[in-house]
Amino acid sequence: MEDALATGKSGLGPLSLKTSTPRRPGFGTRGTTVTLWANYVQLIAAPDLTLYRYALAVSPNATGRKLTQIIRLLLESPELTEFRQDMVSDFKSTCVSRQRLPKDDINITITYRAEAEDEPRPGATSYKVHILYTNTLSVAELTEYLTSTDLAAGLENKEPLIQAFNIFLNHYAKSADNIGTIGSARAFSLRPDAPKWDLGGGLTAIRGFFASVRAATCRILVNVNVTNAAFYNDGPLDQLITAFEPQRRGGKFRLASFLKQVRVRTTHLPEKKNRAGEVIYQVKTIMGLATPNDGHGLTHPPRVQHFGAGPKFVEFWLDSGPSAQPGAATEASGGQAKKKKKGGKGGGPNVPSAPPSSGGRYISIYDFFLNS
Say what angle helices 158-175 and 139-146 make with each other, to 10 degrees.
Answer: 120
Q: How far is CA 112 from CA 28, 109, 261, in A?
A: 61, 10, 22
Q: Which amino acid is at 198?
A: D
Average pLDDT over residues 112-138: 92
**Cα 327 to Cα 79, 169, 283, 333, 372, distances in angstroms:** 37, 42, 13, 11, 10
Q: Is the pLDDT of residue 192 over 90?
A: no
3-class DSSP string for 140-176: HHHHHHHCCCCCCCCCCCHHHHHHHHHHHHHHHHHHC
C-alpha to C-alpha distance for 143 and 49, rounded to whole angstroms: 11
Which tens digits make up the pLDDT trace of 278-290? 888 888 999 999 9
How far is residue 333's CA from residue 119's CA, in Å, rounded to a whole number? Answer: 29
312-334 mean pLDDT: 64
Instruction: List residues bridging with 112 in a β-sheet.
Output: none
∠ CA 40-43-44 to the nearest 5 degrees? 145
Burial class (CB in 10 A: 0-12, 13-18, 19+), 312: middle
pLDDT in tens, 227-279: 999 999 989 999 999 898 765 567 888 899 999 999 999 888 888 888 888 88
Q: Read off the amino acid at residue 202.
A: G
Which helix (H) or strand (E) is 204 found in, with range? strand 203-216
C-alpha distances out from residue 60 to 43, 89, 127, Å: 38, 20, 6
pLDDT at 19 (0 to 100) = 54
Give the whole-angstrom CA distance, residue 37 versus residue 54. Answer: 37
In terms of residues, how long is the chain? 372
Q: pLDDT-derived band of residue 342, with 50, 70 and 90 as boundaries?
A: very low
Query: Hey, what's the torsion of the CAs at 105, 106, 107, 112, to 10 degrees?
Result: -130
Question: Residue 144 pLDDT more than 70?
Answer: yes
Q: What is the dihedral of CA 283, 284, 285, 289, to 10 degrees?
A: -140
Task: Please tell me the distance from the alpha carbon of residue 222 to that of residue 184, in angstroms, as a whole number.
Answer: 15
Separation of alpha carbons 294 and 315, rounded Å: 11
Strands 272-273 and 203-216: unpaired
- 28: amino acid identity, one letter: G
pLDDT band at 330 (very low <50, low <70, confident <90, very high): very low
Q: d(Cα 232, Cα 228) in Å, to the nearest integer? A: 13
